[in-house]
Chain A
Amino acid sequence: METPAVNDIAASLSGEKLEVFRKLNLLEQHRVESFKDWPFPATASCSISKMAEAGFYWTGTKRENDTATCFVCGKTLDGWESEDDPWKEHHKHAPQCEFVKLACAEKDLTVSQFLEILGTVVKCNIEKTCKAFKLSFIRENEERLDEFMHNNK
């Protein structure tokens, strides 16, 4: 609705150039495409396109289909109502988010702002991956330790 031009362009691109960004949900088009299911129509104030514009991608499930996460700060929000404004809710729940601070949709973002966002997103992703890896590493090793202690009793 609000950024048809952007979406058209991104959609018409030769896929592989921008595909690297998909995993990070960096582009609005990719965020729009992440919504496999969403309880609100395109006319609602939290329609898919407005959610994607405010930086949210879909992290819902079949049972809880109204869950979305910000691609920059990683804030996950659910329990949306059709009259919620995604930008306002984003600001209310995650005022520290770099994307909210810019308060700028992708169509108005300059390349240097996008680069800053890209840096933040990649760093968050690294932190998240490291944290997850460390947790699984510790858990796995504790299991092994338990096993060892058990076998040697």
Chain B
Amino acid sequence: MPRTKIPKNSKRNREVANREEKVRLYELKMDSRLISIDSLETKFLSAIDLQVKTLQGQVQKELANLKMPELLRLFTELDRFSDYKASDQTQLLASMSMSSGAIDGLAPSATGSRNDEGYLTEDSSIGASGGSLLAAHTGSLLRSTKAMRTPGPLHSARARRARRSRSACGELNILHSAKPPSNSNSSGATASRNSRSKMRTPMASRTKAFSADRTPLSQKQIRSGSPCSPPMAFLRYPKPGEVALSKFGSPMVAQVMPDKFANVNIPIRNGVLSLRPKKLDAGEVESNLLDNLDEDTLNQIKTLHENLQMIVNKASQAGFK
């Protein structure tokens, strides 16, 4: 019985088909490769745009308006542009007063009692008695910038008063909530302490440990991104010209303006309460920490709380999330 003849593919036919298949695959692959090159290109282009935009946002106004010859001169003097930031006090003061003006716009009720143009002087802040709350707030911010600044006219005026910083006098124990420093160079002079110091380990009797930032640059960037200190801490500001040195006890407000997050610093009787935007447990608010709050300060904190609440309310009304 005859049947339909199915022609067997010759070897040649198979080879042709094979080749065509290969060419087709090749073209597909090449097209997809070209498309991926294009997408990489657009990705890099937009990355450049973003980088330039962020740079423009980050560079200070004064630096951004600098002419190129001056910038080139800066290149010889600076390793990083953040160094320029640190040394420039007028810029900081300008931005401070600008920011305090912006806050005023939001909470006009708090400006009434303001008598020091937002600049809290060192003496008036100790009881936190004078000045408005906002002034105290901006004042504390201002003071926090001082540690970074190079000595300026204000500094030299202070220097004329011939004050010594507290730590230089050995009166470290005024920091009540801090662990009393068990070793201090100046207090080691008394006989009783000398006898105690025999028990020390050699490391503890080291004369001085200047605190210096030895963090690598990469880590620094990570750190500045998010709050690294606890949500509420008791700190004190270094005095002008004082070397910030913390061997034990409560941390000091030495890392100052680079913080990019909102924080609140409340000057209390013997230091500063520094609040960070992290959740605070009720157990963390120690009662002895709050012993040094007087009525005035407490009232000011209440006003500050209301102001913050007002800002939050305004923001949620405006549709922020």
Contacts and interface: CB of A to CB of B under 8 A. Distances in A.
Contacts of A133: 37
Interface residues of A, number: 37
Interface in B234-292: none
A112 B69 contact: no
B52 A115 contact: yes
Interface string A126-153: 1100100110011001000100110010
A128 B208 CA distance: 57
A18 to B, nearest CB: 7
Contact of B59 (A3, A112, A141): A112
B64 A110 contact: yes
A44 interface: no
24 contacts: A5-B69, A6-B68, A6-B72, A13-B72, A13-B76, A106-B68, A107-B67, A107-B69, A108-B68, A110-B64, A110-B65, A110-B68, A111-B63, A111-B65, A115-B55, A116-B56, A123-B48, A126-B44, A126-B48, A127-B41, A130-B41, A138-B34, A141-B30, A149-B23
Interface residues of B, number: 33
A128 to B, nearest CB: 11
Given A12-B76, A112-B59, A145 B23 contact: yes
Nearest to B16: A152
A122 interface: yes
A17 B168 CA distance: 41
Contacts of A127: 41, 45
B211 to A, nearest CB: 29
Given A9-B69, A12-B76, A137-B33, A111 B48 contact: no
Interface hub of B15, B34, B41 (most chain A Cβ within 10 A): B41
Interface of A: 3, 5-6, 9-10, 12-14, 17-18, 27, 106-112, 114-116, 118-119, 122-123, 126-127, 130, 133-134, 137-138, 141, 145, 148-149, 152
Nearest to A3: B69
A134 B36 CA distance: 11
Contacts of B66: 110-111
Nearest to A153: B19
Contacts of B71: 111, 114
Given A14-B76, A137-B33, A152-B19, A107 B68 contact: yes
Nearest to A28: B68
A95 to B, nearest CB: 23
A118 B67 contact: no
A126 B45 contact: yes
B73 interface: yes
A118 B52 contact: yes
A116 B69 contact: no
A74 to B, nearest CB: 15
A134 B76 CA distance: 40
Contacts of A17: 75
Contacts of A118: 52
Nearest to B71: A111
B41 A10 contact: no
Contact of B75 (A13, A109, A145): A13
Interface hub of B33, B37, B52, B72 (most chain A Cβ within 10 A): B72
A76 to B, nearest CB: 22
A145 B64 CA distance: 53
Q: 6 closest A-B pairs (Cβ-Cβ)?
A: A119-B52, A112-B64, A130-B41, A109-B68, A9-B72, A6-B69
B49 interface: yes
Interface in B50-106: 51-52, 55-56, 59, 63-69, 71-73, 75-76
B59 A111 contact: yes
